[in-house]
Amino acid sequence: MKKILKNLDAYFAGFMFAITLVVVVNVFTRKFANYIIPWGEEVATTCFVYTTFVGAAWCLRTHQHVGVDLLVDKLPAGARKIVHILTDLIILVTNGYITWLSYQFVVSSSVKTMPILKISSVWLNSALILGFGLMTIYSLVNLIKTIRQPADTKRGEELDS
């Protein structure tokens, strides 16, 4: 249970991705039964958006984003730590700002409804707040861990503990 709670973001993104398989079902029903699932595209799109943004947050938390530290690794330990702190700070500020913009976007688009499901687009657009909100939290955690770590610790290995 502890493992599930610790990786809830990954399980949620995986669950949402599994629901996008409705697209595959829709392809087969269109080809073989000459029938389309009218709501399939909206459900698949919504789930894919959640998969993308929550999955990106998981990638940030687990350091799965692509990064090139070739030059940073050549720096002395103290300078390397400063670069990592500045990088984490920039990521934190950027994610916090995008979370705020996402909130404003959701509020401004709340009157719009999805054409087939007739539900508010807030359900779709809230994926941005959730994803970037998680990334902001994870960025703050990463920044604190980077500040607390010894200068000679390798990037990534200290943050996973």
What band does 161 get if pLDDT is binned at 50, 70 and 90? very low
Which tens digits make up the pLDDT trace of 131-158? Answer: 999 999 999 999 999 999 887 776 665 4
Q: Is the pLDDT of residue 24 over 70?
A: yes
Both structure tokens of 56: 């990106």
Coil, helix or strand for 67? coil
**How far lies 98's CA from each of 55, 95, 117, in Å?**
16, 5, 28
pLDDT in tens, 60-118: 999 888 777 788 888 898 999 999 999 999 999 999 999 999 999 999 998 999 999 99
Contact 144, 64 (CB under 8 A): no
Find the range with the poorest average confidence among 29-33, 89-93, 97-101, 126-130.
29-33
Q: Which helix (H) or strand (E) holds 29?
A: helix 22-32
Domain map (residue ranges) of the chain? 2-148
